[in-house]
Amino acid sequence: MANVTLRNVRKVYPGGFEAIKGIDIEVGDGQFCVLVGPSGCGKSTLLRMVAGLETITSGEIDIGGRIVNAIEPADRDIAMVFQNYALYPHMSVYNNMAYGLRNRRVPEAEIKTRVEDAARILELGTMLERKPRQLSGGQRQRVAMGRAIVRKPKVFLFDEPLSNLDAKLRIAMRVEIRKLQRRLNTTAIYVTHDQLEAMTLADILVVMNGGKVEQIGNPLEIYQRPATTFVASFIGAPPMNLMPIEGVRAQLHGADAVPAEAGQLGIRPEDFELADTVPAGGIGLDLRVDAIEHVGAETYVYGARQGSDSQDSLIAAANDVIVRLPGTAAPDIGARIRAVAPRGKLHLFSVDGRQRLPI
Protein backbone atom coordinates (compact mmCIF):
# COMPACT_ATOMS: atom_id res chain seq x y z
CA MET A 1 0.00 0.00 0.00
CA ALA A 2 1.66 3.20 -1.04
CA ASN A 3 1.46 6.44 -2.92
CA VAL A 4 3.86 6.95 -5.76
CA THR A 5 4.97 10.50 -6.41
CA LEU A 6 7.20 11.70 -9.23
CA ARG A 7 8.59 15.19 -8.78
CA ASN A 8 10.13 16.92 -11.78
CA VAL A 9 11.73 13.67 -12.94
CA ARG A 10 14.20 13.97 -15.80
CA LYS A 11 16.28 11.47 -17.72
CA VAL A 12 19.17 12.52 -19.90
CA TYR A 13 21.20 9.80 -21.58
CA PRO A 14 25.00 10.12 -21.75
CA GLY A 15 24.73 11.06 -25.41
CA GLY A 16 22.74 14.13 -24.37
CA PHE A 17 19.35 12.80 -25.46
CA GLU A 18 16.66 13.94 -23.06
CA ALA A 19 14.20 11.07 -22.85
CA ILE A 20 12.13 12.41 -19.97
CA LYS A 21 11.74 16.17 -19.76
CA GLY A 22 10.54 16.87 -16.25
CA ILE A 23 7.49 14.92 -15.20
CA ASP A 24 5.24 15.26 -12.15
CA ILE A 25 2.77 12.50 -11.39
CA GLU A 26 0.96 11.64 -8.20
CA VAL A 27 -0.57 8.18 -7.90
CA GLY A 28 -2.71 7.63 -4.82
CA ASP A 29 -2.74 4.50 -2.69
CA GLY A 30 -4.41 1.60 -4.50
CA GLN A 31 -4.90 3.56 -7.70
CA PHE A 32 -4.32 2.18 -11.16
CA CYS A 33 -2.24 4.61 -13.18
CA VAL A 34 -1.76 4.05 -16.90
CA LEU A 35 0.99 5.72 -18.91
CA VAL A 36 0.01 5.85 -22.55
CA GLY A 37 1.68 7.34 -25.59
CA PRO A 38 3.18 6.50 -28.96
CA SER A 39 6.43 4.50 -29.24
CA GLY A 40 9.41 6.50 -28.12
CA CYS A 41 7.44 8.88 -25.93
CA GLY A 42 9.43 7.77 -22.86
CA LYS A 43 6.67 5.89 -21.04
CA SER A 44 8.69 2.69 -20.67
CA THR A 45 11.77 4.64 -19.63
CA LEU A 46 9.72 6.37 -16.96
CA LEU A 47 8.40 3.05 -15.66
CA ARG A 48 11.92 1.61 -15.61
CA MET A 49 13.04 4.61 -13.60
CA VAL A 50 10.36 3.88 -11.03
CA ALA A 51 11.53 0.25 -11.01
CA GLY A 52 15.16 1.32 -10.55
CA LEU A 53 16.36 -0.23 -13.79
CA GLU A 54 17.25 3.21 -15.16
CA THR A 55 18.98 5.91 -13.19
CA ILE A 56 17.23 9.19 -12.51
CA THR A 57 19.09 12.21 -13.87
CA SER A 58 17.26 14.70 -11.67
CA GLY A 59 14.06 15.00 -9.69
CA GLU A 60 12.67 12.62 -7.11
CA ILE A 61 10.70 9.41 -7.12
CA ASP A 62 8.89 8.71 -3.89
CA ILE A 63 7.32 5.34 -3.11
CA GLY A 64 5.30 5.16 0.08
CA GLY A 65 6.94 8.22 1.59
CA ARG A 66 10.47 7.09 0.88
CA ILE A 67 12.65 8.65 -1.80
CA VAL A 68 13.97 5.73 -3.80
CA ASN A 69 16.36 7.47 -6.23
CA ALA A 70 19.40 5.71 -4.79
CA ILE A 71 17.74 2.45 -3.78
CA GLU A 72 18.31 -0.84 -5.62
CA PRO A 73 15.33 -2.28 -7.54
CA ALA A 74 15.12 -5.22 -5.15
CA ASP A 75 14.76 -2.90 -2.16
CA ARG A 76 12.12 -0.58 -3.62
CA ASP A 77 9.30 -2.89 -2.72
CA ILE A 78 8.02 -3.08 -6.26
CA ALA A 79 7.24 -5.97 -8.58
CA MET A 80 7.39 -5.76 -12.32
CA VAL A 81 5.69 -7.67 -15.12
CA PHE A 82 7.63 -7.52 -18.38
CA GLN A 83 6.37 -7.51 -21.93
CA ASN A 84 8.05 -10.83 -22.76
CA TYR A 85 7.33 -12.10 -19.22
CA ALA A 86 11.04 -12.70 -18.48
CA LEU A 87 10.34 -16.01 -16.79
CA TYR A 88 13.41 -18.05 -15.88
CA PRO A 89 13.26 -20.71 -18.60
CA HIS A 90 15.05 -23.41 -16.60
CA MET A 91 12.93 -23.10 -13.47
CA SER A 92 9.52 -24.60 -12.81
CA VAL A 93 6.51 -22.33 -12.37
CA TYR A 94 6.79 -22.83 -8.63
CA ASN A 95 10.45 -21.85 -8.56
CA ASN A 96 9.84 -18.90 -10.84
CA MET A 97 7.45 -17.50 -8.26
CA ALA A 98 9.52 -18.58 -5.25
CA TYR A 99 12.87 -17.27 -6.50
CA GLY A 100 12.46 -13.68 -5.35
CA LEU A 101 11.24 -14.81 -1.94
CA ARG A 102 14.15 -17.23 -1.50
CA ASN A 103 16.58 -14.43 -2.24
CA ARG A 104 14.88 -12.50 0.55
CA ARG A 105 15.29 -15.47 2.88
CA VAL A 106 11.58 -15.89 3.44
CA PRO A 107 11.05 -19.24 5.24
CA GLU A 108 10.25 -22.14 2.88
CA ALA A 109 6.89 -22.81 4.56
CA GLU A 110 5.79 -19.21 4.05
CA ILE A 111 6.96 -19.32 0.42
CA LYS A 112 4.85 -22.42 -0.12
CA THR A 113 1.74 -20.76 1.28
CA ARG A 114 2.22 -17.61 -0.76
CA VAL A 115 2.94 -19.40 -4.03
CA GLU A 116 -0.03 -21.70 -3.56
CA ASP A 117 -2.28 -18.75 -2.77
CA ALA A 118 -1.14 -16.93 -5.89
CA ALA A 119 -1.51 -20.09 -7.96
CA ARG A 120 -5.06 -20.49 -6.73
CA ILE A 121 -6.01 -16.91 -7.56
CA LEU A 122 -4.47 -17.25 -11.02
CA GLU A 123 -5.70 -20.80 -11.62
CA LEU A 124 -2.18 -22.13 -12.04
CA GLY A 125 -2.56 -24.80 -9.37
CA THR A 126 -2.01 -27.75 -11.67
CA MET A 127 0.96 -26.24 -13.45
CA LEU A 128 3.36 -25.53 -10.62
CA GLU A 129 5.80 -28.24 -11.70
CA ARG A 130 5.85 -27.28 -15.37
CA LYS A 131 8.53 -25.28 -17.12
CA PRO A 132 7.56 -21.98 -18.79
CA ARG A 133 8.01 -23.42 -22.29
CA GLN A 134 5.24 -25.94 -21.56
CA LEU A 135 2.75 -23.13 -20.97
CA SER A 136 0.62 -21.11 -23.36
CA GLY A 137 1.11 -17.36 -23.72
CA GLY A 138 -1.75 -16.54 -21.39
CA GLN A 139 -0.47 -18.95 -18.74
CA ARG A 140 3.03 -17.50 -18.94
CA GLN A 141 1.49 -14.09 -18.47
CA ARG A 142 -0.26 -15.34 -15.36
CA VAL A 143 2.96 -16.83 -13.99
CA ALA A 144 4.62 -13.46 -14.50
CA MET A 145 1.78 -11.87 -12.52
CA GLY A 146 2.06 -14.60 -9.90
CA ARG A 147 5.72 -13.77 -9.49
CA ALA A 148 4.68 -10.19 -8.81
CA ILE A 149 1.85 -11.08 -6.42
CA VAL A 150 3.83 -13.40 -4.12
CA ARG A 151 6.18 -10.56 -3.34
CA LYS A 152 3.31 -8.56 -1.80
CA PRO A 153 4.89 -5.38 -3.12
CA LYS A 154 3.78 -1.83 -2.49
CA VAL A 155 3.54 -1.16 -6.22
CA PHE A 156 2.95 -3.28 -9.32
CA LEU A 157 4.69 -2.14 -12.47
CA PHE A 158 3.45 -3.42 -15.81
CA ASP A 159 5.45 -2.86 -18.98
CA GLU A 160 3.10 -3.52 -21.91
CA PRO A 161 2.25 -6.91 -20.43
CA LEU A 162 -0.43 -7.80 -22.96
CA SER A 163 1.18 -6.88 -26.24
CA ASN A 164 2.49 -10.41 -26.89
CA LEU A 165 -0.97 -11.96 -26.63
CA ASP A 166 -3.56 -12.38 -29.35
CA ALA A 167 -6.50 -9.98 -29.46
CA LYS A 168 -9.03 -12.18 -27.70
CA LEU A 169 -6.72 -13.19 -24.86
CA ARG A 170 -5.65 -9.60 -24.48
CA ILE A 171 -9.18 -8.52 -23.61
CA ALA A 172 -9.61 -11.42 -21.17
CA MET A 173 -6.28 -10.68 -19.45
CA ARG A 174 -7.08 -6.98 -19.34
CA VAL A 175 -10.16 -7.70 -17.28
CA GLU A 176 -8.20 -10.17 -15.11
CA ILE A 177 -5.48 -7.64 -14.37
CA ARG A 178 -8.03 -5.04 -13.36
CA LYS A 179 -9.92 -7.44 -11.11
CA LEU A 180 -6.73 -8.66 -9.52
CA GLN A 181 -5.49 -5.17 -8.81
CA ARG A 182 -8.84 -4.20 -7.24
CA ARG A 183 -8.83 -7.33 -5.13
CA LEU A 184 -5.30 -6.85 -3.85
CA ASN A 185 -5.81 -3.10 -3.64
CA THR A 186 -2.20 -2.50 -4.63
CA THR A 187 -1.03 0.65 -6.36
CA ALA A 188 -0.20 -0.08 -10.00
CA ILE A 189 1.56 1.71 -12.82
CA TYR A 190 0.89 0.31 -16.25
CA VAL A 191 2.52 1.21 -19.55
CA THR A 192 0.79 0.68 -22.86
CA HIS A 193 0.55 2.17 -26.33
CA ASP A 194 -2.99 0.88 -26.74
CA GLN A 195 -5.45 3.67 -25.97
CA LEU A 196 -8.31 1.23 -25.46
CA GLU A 197 -6.34 -0.66 -22.79
CA ALA A 198 -5.45 2.68 -21.25
CA MET A 199 -9.06 3.89 -21.15
CA THR A 200 -10.45 0.69 -19.68
CA LEU A 201 -7.81 0.09 -16.99
CA ALA A 202 -6.95 3.50 -15.66
CA ASP A 203 -8.05 5.34 -12.58
CA ILE A 204 -5.52 7.95 -13.59
CA LEU A 205 -4.53 8.25 -17.20
CA VAL A 206 -1.26 9.92 -18.14
CA VAL A 207 -0.92 10.74 -21.82
CA MET A 208 2.71 11.21 -22.78
CA ASN A 209 4.39 12.54 -25.88
CA GLY A 210 8.04 13.32 -26.56
CA GLY A 211 9.19 12.80 -22.97
CA LYS A 212 6.52 15.09 -21.55
CA VAL A 213 3.11 14.71 -20.00
CA GLU A 214 0.39 16.00 -22.32
CA GLN A 215 -2.46 15.48 -19.91
CA ILE A 216 -3.18 13.71 -16.62
CA GLY A 217 -6.62 12.84 -15.38
CA ASN A 218 -9.55 10.55 -15.21
CA PRO A 219 -9.91 8.67 -18.56
CA LEU A 220 -13.41 9.95 -19.32
CA GLU A 221 -12.46 13.50 -18.49
CA ILE A 222 -9.49 13.22 -20.85
CA TYR A 223 -11.72 11.78 -23.54
CA GLN A 224 -14.30 14.48 -23.13
CA ARG A 225 -11.96 17.41 -22.63
CA PRO A 226 -8.60 16.70 -24.28
CA ALA A 227 -6.11 19.39 -23.36
CA THR A 228 -4.16 19.38 -26.63
CA THR A 229 -4.67 18.25 -30.19
CA PHE A 230 -2.19 15.44 -29.53
CA VAL A 231 -4.37 14.01 -26.76
CA ALA A 232 -7.47 14.60 -28.87
CA SER A 233 -6.13 12.53 -31.73
CA PHE A 234 -4.43 9.88 -29.56
CA ILE A 235 -7.32 9.01 -27.25
CA GLY A 236 -10.36 7.67 -29.02
CA ALA A 237 -10.60 5.45 -32.08
CA PRO A 238 -11.04 6.44 -34.79
CA PRO A 239 -9.30 9.68 -33.82
CA MET A 240 -10.94 13.04 -33.41
CA ASN A 241 -11.35 15.01 -36.64
CA LEU A 242 -9.19 18.13 -36.50
CA MET A 243 -9.58 20.91 -39.03
CA PRO A 244 -8.32 24.47 -39.34
CA ILE A 245 -10.98 26.84 -38.13
CA GLU A 246 -10.62 29.08 -41.18
CA GLY A 247 -11.75 26.32 -43.51
CA VAL A 248 -15.00 25.73 -41.67
CA ARG A 249 -15.89 29.21 -40.45
CA ALA A 250 -18.71 29.41 -42.98
CA GLN A 251 -20.25 26.14 -41.79
CA LEU A 252 -20.01 27.01 -38.11
CA HIS A 253 -22.97 28.79 -36.60
CA GLY A 254 -21.98 31.54 -34.24
CA ALA A 255 -18.43 31.63 -35.56
CA ASP A 256 -18.14 35.18 -34.24
CA ALA A 257 -18.12 33.87 -30.68
CA VAL A 258 -14.98 31.83 -31.36
CA PRO A 259 -11.90 33.33 -29.64
CA ALA A 260 -9.48 35.05 -31.97
CA GLU A 261 -6.53 32.83 -31.02
CA ALA A 262 -8.41 29.64 -31.96
CA GLY A 263 -6.72 27.74 -34.79
CA GLN A 264 -8.16 24.25 -34.87
CA LEU A 265 -11.59 22.77 -34.46
CA GLY A 266 -12.07 19.17 -33.32
CA ILE A 267 -15.12 16.94 -33.59
CA ARG A 268 -15.20 13.25 -32.63
CA PRO A 269 -16.56 10.91 -35.31
CA GLU A 270 -19.18 9.63 -32.87
CA ASP A 271 -20.54 13.14 -32.24
CA PHE A 272 -21.76 13.57 -35.80
CA GLU A 273 -25.28 12.92 -36.98
CA LEU A 274 -26.72 12.95 -40.47
CA ALA A 275 -29.31 15.75 -40.59
CA ASP A 276 -30.39 18.56 -42.85
CA THR A 277 -30.72 21.22 -40.20
CA VAL A 278 -27.77 22.36 -38.17
CA PRO A 279 -28.44 22.72 -34.41
CA ALA A 280 -28.14 26.25 -33.08
CA GLY A 281 -24.48 27.13 -32.57
CA GLY A 282 -23.44 23.81 -34.09
CA ILE A 283 -21.69 22.90 -37.30
CA GLY A 284 -22.89 21.32 -40.50
CA LEU A 285 -20.41 19.82 -42.96
CA ASP A 286 -21.28 18.83 -46.50
CA LEU A 287 -19.26 15.73 -47.35
CA ARG A 288 -18.70 13.53 -50.33
CA VAL A 289 -18.41 9.89 -49.25
CA ASP A 290 -14.97 8.56 -50.21
CA ALA A 291 -14.77 5.29 -48.31
CA ILE A 292 -16.84 3.23 -45.92
CA GLU A 293 -15.78 0.78 -43.21
CA HIS A 294 -18.38 -1.57 -41.80
CA VAL A 295 -17.35 -2.95 -38.43
CA GLY A 296 -20.71 -4.46 -37.53
CA ALA A 297 -22.11 -2.38 -34.73
CA GLU A 298 -21.15 0.80 -36.49
CA THR A 299 -20.08 2.19 -39.82
CA TYR A 300 -17.28 4.65 -40.41
CA VAL A 301 -17.64 7.01 -43.30
CA TYR A 302 -14.59 8.82 -44.67
CA GLY A 303 -15.75 11.96 -46.37
CA ALA A 304 -14.08 14.85 -48.21
CA ARG A 305 -15.35 18.32 -47.31
CA GLN A 306 -17.04 20.20 -50.11
CA GLY A 307 -14.87 22.94 -51.44
CA SER A 308 -11.70 21.61 -49.81
CA ASP A 309 -8.52 20.82 -51.72
CA SER A 310 -8.65 17.11 -51.06
CA GLN A 311 -11.70 16.63 -53.27
CA ASP A 312 -9.81 14.77 -55.94
CA SER A 313 -7.03 13.25 -53.93
CA LEU A 314 -7.05 9.51 -53.25
CA ILE A 315 -4.95 9.85 -50.15
CA ALA A 316 -6.85 10.68 -46.99
CA ALA A 317 -5.71 14.21 -46.43
CA ALA A 318 -6.00 16.30 -43.33
CA ASN A 319 -9.25 17.58 -44.80
CA ASP A 320 -10.87 14.16 -44.61
CA VAL A 321 -13.57 13.83 -42.01
CA ILE A 322 -14.48 10.56 -40.33
CA VAL A 323 -18.12 10.17 -39.33
CA ARG A 324 -19.42 7.32 -37.22
CA LEU A 325 -22.89 6.10 -38.15
CA PRO A 326 -25.00 3.22 -36.85
CA GLY A 327 -24.20 -0.21 -38.30
CA THR A 328 -27.31 -0.14 -40.42
CA ALA A 329 -26.32 3.00 -42.31
CA ALA A 330 -24.86 2.40 -45.74
CA PRO A 331 -24.38 5.55 -47.82
CA ASP A 332 -23.10 5.05 -51.36
CA ILE A 333 -19.58 5.94 -52.36
CA GLY A 334 -19.67 9.36 -53.96
CA ALA A 335 -22.96 10.29 -52.26
CA ARG A 336 -23.33 13.73 -50.72
CA ILE A 337 -24.16 13.78 -47.06
CA ARG A 338 -24.52 16.47 -44.43
CA ALA A 339 -22.98 15.68 -41.05
CA VAL A 340 -23.94 17.93 -38.17
CA ALA A 341 -22.71 18.26 -34.60
CA PRO A 342 -24.03 20.37 -31.70
CA ARG A 343 -21.94 23.13 -30.21
CA GLY A 344 -21.42 21.23 -26.97
CA LYS A 345 -19.48 18.58 -28.84
CA LEU A 346 -17.03 20.93 -30.51
CA HIS A 347 -13.45 21.21 -29.27
CA LEU A 348 -11.40 24.29 -29.89
CA PHE A 349 -7.62 24.46 -29.82
CA SER A 350 -4.98 27.12 -30.32
CA VAL A 351 -3.12 27.29 -33.63
CA ASP A 352 -0.21 25.15 -32.39
CA GLY A 353 -2.61 22.69 -30.79
CA ARG A 354 -0.94 23.01 -27.38
CA GLN A 355 -3.88 24.68 -25.69
CA ARG A 356 -7.59 23.98 -25.31
CA LEU A 357 -9.87 26.99 -25.64
CA PRO A 358 -13.41 27.54 -24.42
CA ILE A 359 -16.17 27.58 -27.01
Residues 138 to 167 in contact with another protein, rule: CB under 8 A = 147
Q: Using the rule CB under 8 A, is 51 a contact of another protein?
A: yes
Which stretch in 82-90, 176-184, 232-240, 303-311 sits in contact with another protein by CB under 8 A? 82-90
Q: Which is nearer to another protein, 92 or 355 (CB)?
A: 92
Q: What string of DSSP letters covers 265-299? A: EEE-GGG-EE-SSPPTT-EEEEEEEEEEEE-SSEE
Q: C-alpha angle 58/61/63, rounded to 5°?
A: 165
Of 255, 228, 254, 256, give the one whose Cα is nearest residue 242. Answer: 228
Q: In angstroms, give the least distance from the CB of 88 to another protein.
A: 6
State which of residues 16, 133, 167, 256 lies at the interface with another protein (CB under 8 A): 133
Distance CA(173)–CA(142), nearest Å, equals: 9
Q: Where are the beta strands (DSSP E) in the chain?
A: 4-12, 18-27, 32-36, 58-63, 66-67, 78-81, 155-159, 187-192, 204-209, 212-217, 241-244, 262-267, 273-274, 283-294, 298-305, 320-326, 336-341, 347-350, 356-357
Q: Which is nearer to another protein, 86 or 357 (CB)?
A: 86
Residues 33-45: b if buried by 16+ CB within 10 A, e if exposed: bbbbbeeebbbbb
Total of chain residues touching another protein, rule CB under 8 A: 27
State which of residues 53, 196, 245, 274 lies at the interface with another protein (CB under 8 A): 53
Q: Which is nearer to another protein, 83 or 350 (CB)?
A: 83
Which stretch in 96-104, 116-124, 190-198, 243-251 sits in contact with another protein by CB under 8 A? 96-104
The sign of the CA dihedral 86, 211, 25, 50 is positive
Q: Which is nearer to another protein, 51 or 340 (CB)?
A: 51
Q: Using the rule CB under 8 A, is 171 a contact of another protein?
A: no
State which of residues 28, 58, 66, 88 lies at the interface with another protein (CB under 8 A): 88
Q: Using the rule CB under 8 A, is 83 a contact of another protein?
A: yes
Which stretch in 70-78, 204-212, 279-287, 332-340 sits in contact with another protein by CB under 8 A? 70-78
Residues 205 to 264 in contact with another protein, rule: CB under 8 A = none
State which of residues 30, 59, 64, 73 lies at the interface with another protein (CB under 8 A): 73
Contacts of 357 (CB under 8 A, 6+ apart): 259, 261, 262, 348, 349, 350
Q: In angstroms, give the least distance from the CB of 35 to another protein.
A: 18
Q: Using the rule CB under 8 A, is 84 a contact of another protein?
A: yes
Residues that bind another protein (CB under 8 A): 51-53, 72-75, 78-80, 82-90, 99-100, 103-104, 131-133, 147
